[in-house]
Amino acid sequence: MFDSQVYLNRRAQLRKKMGSGLILIIGNVDAAFNYPDNQYHFRQDSTFLYYFGLDHAGLAGVIDLDSGEDWIFGNDVDMDDIIWMGVLPSISELASKVAVTLTAPYANLETIVAKAVLQGREIHFTPPYRGETKLELERLTKIPAAELKAKSSLKLIKAAVDQRSIKDKQEIAEIEKAIDTAYLMHTTAMKMAMPGTAEQYIAGTIEGIAMAHGGPVSFPVILSMNGQTLHNHDHSGILAEGRMMVVDAGCETGLHYASDLTRTVPVGLKFTPRQKAVYEAVLQSNLKAIEAIKPGIFYKDVHLLSAEVMVDALKAIGLMKGNTKDAVAAGAHALFFPHGLGHMMGLDVHDMENYGQINVGYDDEIRPSTQFGLAFLRMARRLQPGFVITVEPGCYFIPALIDQWKSEGLHTEFINYDEVEKYKDFGGIRIEDDILVTETGCRVLGKAVPKTVAEIEDLM
């Protein structure tokens, strides 16, 4: 973990942005896999990690905005725990690592919260996303579980988003560590992408690399010849000549900072001319977007630019036609590029998404669109130095979507459906990098995974 002062400073910053009341941060508990004693790998809640840093189950943190006190509630291990899990530091020893001096048994949390409720003090919490946390918050605050999201603290959400959006040097170093492991995951997958190899074998191998370097993966590995399915977790295919393999994968460091990279490679050693042409469209879209990233620009505008670059390239291939800007304004490109350009990344791979995307990627200046495709843009607001975001344009040929748009006669002035028909067996391509917004522009983070056609073919 970071130095104890980091957590003290983070809480001090948070206090400045908040008014009065009690901030209640419930850490995660162990989650049962198939019976209570057989559990998933423990993953601490990211809000708890950010402000209280401790990577242990069954803790809660309280920041009392009026008294100035910080508390950690948790239970010291007993002899049964020691027998099964070994000796663990006491709660007060743990708390001292994050500069908290006040600790109490977990049961005392109920008294503190009940007292605050009785006094009519505001209890600030973020929207819970796990069943156990919902039940715990319901028990403590007496707010019915179904109402917790609506009654979560917008003030706390906004303050935490402000803070967590700007990554400091230590956080960036952690993220780069995660990307360097992702480099190994991706280059290993590239070298394994030969006809006859099981997707599952490659997916398992790269997940193992994540685990071997701190791990786990930052989200379930996406790996498939059927890259037209955006989040394809079905790894049952056997790689076939003439197809491409999309790998969208990243890992967490020991401190739980994430990476999230995507590469698409030809099965076998070479891109076909048709694959190369579409690949170049996505690559140009990725590169031009990165070139445009700088403080002050709306990420929505970078998204639209990346769409325009792609439309220009698809026009050259013969898949689209007409005026590029008009096509993008109408949303015609979304037949091929139906998702957003990227998202924030940090302690969560989609950073802070549990706070509500509208609070993370949008603000008073820019609100979400309802247009198909653009509506999936997770990050639209103005960029600031210190933001870490992904740039992940993609081009997909989704037969069901093509059939629907064609039958409805959608955007016929911009789409050459006769040509598109020939690509229904193509699959999809996505290229994703993780970017730091700097004072003057941006920097692609981590060790560079081969990205151009020549680099990929060379490595393979």
Nearer to Mn ion (CB atom), residue 227 or residue 331: 227
433 binds, among Mn ion, ligand GLY, none (CB under 5 to 8 A by kind): none
Helix (H, G, I), strand (E, B) or coil at 155: helix
Q: Among 70-78, 103-111, 380-388, 424-432, which window interacts with Mn ion (CB under 5 A)?
A: 424-432
Cβ-Cβ contacts under 8 Å for 269 (sequence gap 6 or more): 457, 460
Count residues near ligand GLY (CB under 6 A): 6
Identify any residues that bridge with 320 across adjacent strands, giving them in sequence order: 415
> CB of 233: closest distance to ligand GLY in angstroms?
11
Site for ligand GLY in 337-366 (CB under 6 A): 343
Determine the straight-line distance between the first and last CA of the chain, rounded to whole angstroms.
37
User: From residue 221 to residue 260, what is the string marking binding to Mn ion with x (rule CB under 5 A)?
Assistant: ---------------------------x-----------x
Nearer to Mn ion (CB atom), residue 75 or residue 229: 229
Nearer to ligand GLY (CB atom), residue 315 or residue 451: 451
> CB of 247: closest distance to ligand GLY in angstroms?
11
Q: Give CA angle at 13 (9, 14), nearest 5°.
A: 115
> CB of 149: closest distance to ligand GLY in angstroms?
23
Site for ligand GLY in 148-207 (CB under 6 A): none
176 is an interface residue for Mn ion by CB under 5 A: no
Q: 220: how many CB neighbours lie within 10 A of its CB?
A: 14
> CB of 432: closest distance to Mn ion in angstroms?
5
Site for ligand GLY in 210-229 (CB under 6 A): 219
Closest C-alpha among 229, 244, 232, 231 to residue 200:
232
What letter represents residue 239's amino acid?
L
Site for ligand GLY in 245-304 (CB under 6 A): 248, 260
> CB of 299: closest distance to Mn ion in angstroms?
13
Q: Is 130 exposed, middle or buried (0-12, 13-18, 19+ CB in 10 A)?
A: middle
219 binds, among ligand GLY, Mn ion, none (CB under 5 to 8 A by kind): ligand GLY
Place of tokens 């991706």: 186
> CB of 336: closest distance to Mn ion in angstroms?
18
Q: Is 140 exposed, middle or buried (0-12, 13-18, 19+ CB in 10 A)?
A: buried
Applying CB under 5 A, among 141, 153, 357, 390 the residue interacting with Mn ion is 390
> CB of 248: closest distance to ligand GLY in angstroms?
5
What letter represents residue 206's amino acid?
I
Q: What is the CA radius of gyration of the chain?
A: 24
> CB of 137: closest distance to ligand GLY in angstroms?
28
| Residues 73, 106 contacting (CB under 8 angstroms) | yes
Nearer to Mn ion (CB atom), residue 229 or residue 416: 229
Encoding tokens for residue 138? Answer: 């319901």
Cβ-Cβ contacts under 8 Å for 241 (sequence gap 6 or more): 195, 267, 268
Encoding tokens for residue 268? Answer: 């076998």
> CB of 262: closest distance to Mn ion in angstroms?
5
Q: 71: how many CB neighbours lie within 10 A of its CB?
A: 22
Rounded CA gap, 308 and 63, in Å? 47
Site for ligand GLY in 383-422 (CB under 6 A): 392
Rounded CA gap, 327 and 322, in Å? 7
Nearer to ligand GLY (CB atom), residue 15 or residue 43: 43
Nearer to ligand GLY (CB atom), residue 157 or residue 349: 349
Cβ-Cβ contacts under 8 Å for 158 (sequence gap 6 or more): 17, 359
Nearer to ligand GLY (CB atom), residue 152 or residue 228: 228
Binding site for Mn ion (CB under 5 A): 248, 260, 262, 390, 432
Binding site for ligand GLY (CB under 6 A): 219, 248, 260, 343, 392, 432
